[in-house]
Amino acid sequence: MNVDQFLLDLVVVLFAAKAGGEIAHRLNQPAVLGELLGGMIFGASVLGVLASHVHFLQLLTIGPKSSSYPVLFICAQIGMILLLFEAGLETDMDELFKLGVSALWVACLGVVLSFVGGYFAMRLMHVSNAGALFVGAAISATSVGITARSFSDLDKSRSKEAKIVLGAAVADDIIGLIILAVMSGFAMNRMSAVGACKTAVAAVLFLVVAVVLGRYLAPKIMDLAHRMKTRSALATASLIFCFILAILANYAAGLSPIIGAFAAGLVLAKTSHKLHFIKQLQPVASVFIPVFFVLTGALMPVNAINPASAAGRTVILQTLLLFAVAAIAKVIAGVSVPERNTNRIAVGVGMIPRGEVVLIFAGYGIQSGALSQGLYTAVLLVVMLTTFVTPPLLKAVLGSSSNEKGGLLTSEAVQQTVPAA
Amino acid sequence: MNVDQFLLDLVVVLFAAKAGGEIAHRLNQPAVLGELLGGMIFGASVLGVLASHVHFLQLLTIGPKSSSYPVLFICAQIGMILLLFEAGLETDMDELFKLGVSALWVACLGVVLSFVGGYFAMRLMHVSNAGALFVGAAISATSVGITARSFSDLDKSRSKEAKIVLGAAVADDIIGLIILAVMSGFAMNRMSAVGACKTAVAAVLFLVVAVVLGRYLAPKIMDLAHRMKTRSALATASLIFCFILAILANYAAGLSPIIGAFAAGLVLAKTSHKLHFIKQLQPVASVFIPVFFVLTGALMPVNAINPASAAGRTVILQTLLLFAVAAIAKVIAGVSVPERNTNRIAVGVGMIPRGEVVLIFAGYGIQSGALSQGLYTAVLLVVMLTTFVTPPLLKAVLGSSSNEKGGLLTSEAVQQTVPAA
């Protein structure tokens, strides 16, 4: 792929994002829904080539094991990293910790209900024990991306609900890791409680060290960068900090890189340069973030459903059943949150999206033979459904103003406060 | 290459850029020199892997024929495109046209003197007729990137000297194309005056159509984008506009994509949203632009010189001779510019850098057998020398204030005028 081809793809993606976002806005929906739909429409027509040679799985699973990706996919990943970095920058760490018990409660109950619900739903449909276990594990953990984006679209990034959901989603990623350690042991016929513990300890340790050490070191590093005279030194330093934590999260702790980026945002939000970071990040982020959502839309396996065949109807039935379990489990977890003055349904709805973890489990499951091709498709379709329903549902339950600009300081807000030079 | 590996490389590149830029600033030199040196140091050590498997040639030559590049190289190319887009946004089109005769004069005289000088210098050193012709053609055209960056570093982007040099460099690219058409005909043993004319007409036609049509359409498109409610629609529209012109320059006219980006900047500078574009572009550009200069530094073929062997000494001699011809030819062209109240030496020095065109010719020359391996290395080393000497020389002859921030509205300037929210 040369730079011309890349620029052409990028132009199509950015156009799909803005056209879709604009239409969604006019229909009083979050922009992210428009980007997903824009991706689906352009994915089938203009970007058709992309969908054929790059697998949906590749988009969401990132790790040291993955092979070479097209450039656009790297951009999508960076978009996710910047999205969570932005979410971290807009989250007050102390408030997040105060809500920690609620977040943990939502995370644990949501995972348990999804796992158990998914397992029994599949057993009811005569899926093998191993297959049902994999499906249960796959749909257990919430993906933080869609929710963070929807809260941002609705200008609710700093609400109590957003903080509980973000905290719970981070916890979900750690719980997901532990389940993965157990399940991959299961897939290789050797359960390892020690391995699962090691994974969990590494993940928690990473977050604690990153936050404690970061909170001590970050102000010093950023003040140093602030004293530098070269162009954009401070903004670049914040990006370097974010990228290093993203890399460490993955390499050192096996966590998703976006969890590291969120931790970096949390830490930098405590420095005196927070507003500068948010402002400088915004234009970079608004180029990269839509790439992720448009590609997600473009790569949805919509053509995998064939209602004409018996197998196709089974996939559809499994998908709908799993989707119902996935949504209800998280809503129950959210509604039961032990927190006053909270829109609990919004917390539950915010926990609905599934993403990375599902796709990792689906990959493991199909490799180990526990998941059939049909079940695999059903699980991917659940990702798609949860992704599509969350933005409008969240908008409905939050009943907010239709401010789609998002973020603490939007470009337009900055624009208006700067006198024309 | 996965996203972790890419992020790691990006962190190294950004760190090298900012550390190098800062040291250059403290030594009262343009930041770009520090980025190039930072690239050389990190290129040899940390980024060593990159230099070994990616050829220096790949970095600067972009076109539909090129194969798949690592992601970092795409970033570098986008950096160049954004740099010229920024340069275009800061250039007043009408003033540029007023200086058109001077720019054309500098371009034509500089090309002729470089070509003739390079040819005879090589004939003196017993290079074959075909080889000498290729070397002359290779060193004829100025590369606009280094100069645009140096003027920006010195806060002289909007000076008369910068406009003459930018205009002349655009003309150089078109003249380079014509020479290339003739020379590639020569390399394939069929000279084609018709082909050369077609190339020239296509290039000029593209620029005229882009500017005339763009000046009519751009305000309408941008006002439409301005009325959109979705986040960063206007800034995204400007990027899409820039990318489309960059793609068209290459596909439709065979020009370097950066010429298209410059034309896009010129056109958008005439809309009412100019300041908004510059401000929104700045953070994106300051991530991508240093990637180009650090990689250029990292990929310099410094290890190709071996003074111990006779062949190595010949390469060194050829390099120094060609460098002298290349520098003197452009300085003479600059000094003879028919424009009053102009720092003519600065115009000449601004024209010294060679880049893309050299590398295209070097590639053709070595493929056709006209250039030996030694001459090929010498030509690449001339690119390196002209790149390194221009920033400090320009600084010396412009004798400017040490404002290294560059650009019309730097992040810090914006920062200061925005009240903390």
For B10, the closest of A69, A243, A287 (CB atoms) is: A243
Q: Give me the amino acid identity at B118.
A: G
Give the model's pLDDT for residue B120.
95
Contacts of A408 in chain B (CB under 8 A): 421
**CATH ID of A90-284+303-399, from 1.20.1530.20, 3.40.980.10, 3.40.50.1400, 3.40.50.2300:** 1.20.1530.20
Q: Give me the amino acid identity at B22.
A: E
**CATH ID of B3-400, from 1.20.1530.20, 3.40.30.10, 3.40.50.10800, 3.30.30.10:** 1.20.1530.20
Q: What is the dihedral of CA A94, A98, A102, A103, to 10 degrees?
A: 20
Give the model's pLDDT for residue A44.
59
> What's the rounded mean pLDDT across residues A319-324?
95
Contact status of B229 with chain A (Cβ, < 8 Å): yes
Q: Indicate whether B375 pLDDT > 90.
A: no
Put simply, the chain A residues between 47 and 66 with a CB less than 8 A from any chain B CB are 62-64, 66
Q: Which two tokens stand for residue A41?
A: 């429409």
Q: Express each pLDDT in B287-320 by its tens digit.
A: 898 888 888 777 666 666 677 888 888 889 999 9
Q: Indicate whether B69 pLDDT > 60.
A: no
B185 — pLDDT class (breaks 50, 70, 90) = low
The ipTM estimated for the assembled molecules is 0.79
For A231, the closest of B14, B31, B244 (CB atoms) is: B31
Range with top average pLDDT, A141-150, B125-134, B379-388: B125-134
Contacts of B14 in chain A (CB under 8 A): 236, 239-240
Q: Is B243 exposed, middle or buried (0-12, 13-18, 19+ CB in 10 A)?
A: buried
Give the model's pLDDT for residue A304.
63
Q: Which two tokens stand for residue B110?
A: 């500089």
Q: Indicate whether B202 pLDDT > 50.
A: yes
More confident: B366 or A413: B366
Give the model's pLDDT for residue B190.
54
Helices and strands, counts by H and E, chain B: 19, 0
Give the model's pLDDT for residue B402.
41
> What's the rounded Cα separation, in Å, for the pair A5 and B342?
41
Q: Is B265 exposed, middle or buried (0-12, 13-18, 19+ CB in 10 A)?
A: buried
Q: Which two tokens stand for residue A350?
A: 């915010």
> What's the rounded mean pLDDT across residues B83-93?
86
Contacts of A31 in chain B (CB under 8 A): 230-231
Closest chain A C-alpha to B335 CA, distance in angstroms: 32
Put simply, the chain B residues between 247 and 266 with a CB less than 8 A from any chain A CB are 247, 250-251, 257
Q: Express each pLDDT in B128-145 by its tens digit.
A: 988 998 899 889 988 877
Among A70-79, A147-156, A400-409, B168-177, which stretch is predicted with the lowest mean pLDDT?
Answer: A400-409
Closest chain A C-alpha to B165 CA, distance in angstroms: 23
Q: Indicate whether A405 pLDDT > 60.
A: no
More confident: A358 or A318: A318
Q: Indicate whether B395 pLDDT > 60.
A: yes
Closest chain B C-alpha to A290 CA, distance in angstroms: 10
Give the model's pLDDT for residue A41.
80
DSSP secondary structure code for residue B303 in this structure? G
Closest chain A C-alpha to B230 CA, distance in angstroms: 5
Contact of B191 with B133, CB cutoff 8 Å: no
Give the model's pLDDT for residue B75.
87
pTM for the whole structure? 0.80
For A22, the closest of B24, B31, B229 (CB atoms) is: B229
**Which of B231, B277, B416 to probe by mutation at the A interface, max A CB count within 10 Å?**
B231
The answer to whether B7 contacts A257, with C-beta atoms less than 8 Å apart, is yes
The answer to whether B284 contacts A282, with C-beta atoms less than 8 Å apart, is no
Q: Express each pLDDT in A222-236 by its tens digit.
A: 999 999 887 788 999
Please state whether B155 falls in left (phi above 0), alpha (psi between -120 and 50) or beta.
Answer: left
Residue A235: which residues within 8 A CB-CB, separation 6 or more? A276, A277, A280, A281, B283, B286, B411
The pLDDT > 90 percentage for chain B reads: 27
Among A79-83, A311-315, A410-414, B120-124, which stretch is predicted with the lowest mean pLDDT?
Answer: A410-414
Q: Express each pLDDT in B321-348 by its tens digit.
A: 999 999 999 999 999 988 888 899 999 9
Range with top average pLDDT, B332-336, B366-370, B399-403: B332-336
> What's the rounded Cα separation, in Å, for the pair B227 and B7?
36
The answer to whether B230 contacts A68, with C-beta atoms less than 8 Å apart, is no
DSSP H helices in A54-99: 56-60, 71-89, 93-98
Give the model's pLDDT for residue A245.
93
Contact status of B42 with chain A (Cβ, < 8 Å): no
The answer to whether B7 contacts A246, with C-beta atoms less than 8 Å apart, is yes
Closest chain A C-alpha to B361 CA, distance in angstroms: 20
Closest chain B C-alpha to A163 CA, distance in angstroms: 21
Among A179-183, A339-343, B187-191, which stretch is predicted with the lowest mean pLDDT?
Answer: B187-191
> What's the rounded mean pLDDT across residues A55-81?
60
For B417, the closest of A276, A284, A419 (CB atoms) is: A419
A192 — pLDDT class (breaks 50, 70, 90) = low
CA distances for B55 relative to A7, B70, B274, B300, angstroms: 22, 11, 38, 10
> What's the rounded mean pLDDT across residues A373-378?
83
> What's the rounded Cα separation, in Å, for the pair A375 and A127?
9
Contact status of A417 with chain B (Cβ, < 8 Å): yes
Contacts of A405 in chain B (CB under 8 A): 229, 231
Q: Indicate whether A185 pLDDT > 60.
A: yes
The answer to whether A231 contacts B69, with C-beta atoms less than 8 Å apart, is no
Mean pLDDT estimate for chain B? 80
Mean pLDDT estimate for chain A? 80
> What's the rounded mean pLDDT across residues A191-209?
77
For A287, the closest of B3, B239, B244 (CB atoms) is: B239
Q: Which two tokens stand for residue B394?
A: 């320009």
Among A93-107, A120-134, A185-199, A262-276, which stretch is predicted with the lowest mean pLDDT?
Answer: A185-199
Closest chain A C-alpha to B251 CA, distance in angstroms: 9
Contact status of A281 with chain B (Cβ, < 8 Å): yes
Contacts of A63 in chain B (CB under 8 A): 2, 4
The pLDDT > 90 percentage for chain A reads: 27
Contact status of A17 with chain B (Cβ, < 8 Å): yes
Q: Break chain B into its structural domains and give their ranges.
A: 3-400
Contact status of A22 with chain B (Cβ, < 8 Å): yes
Contact of B364 with B134, CB cutoff 8 Å: yes
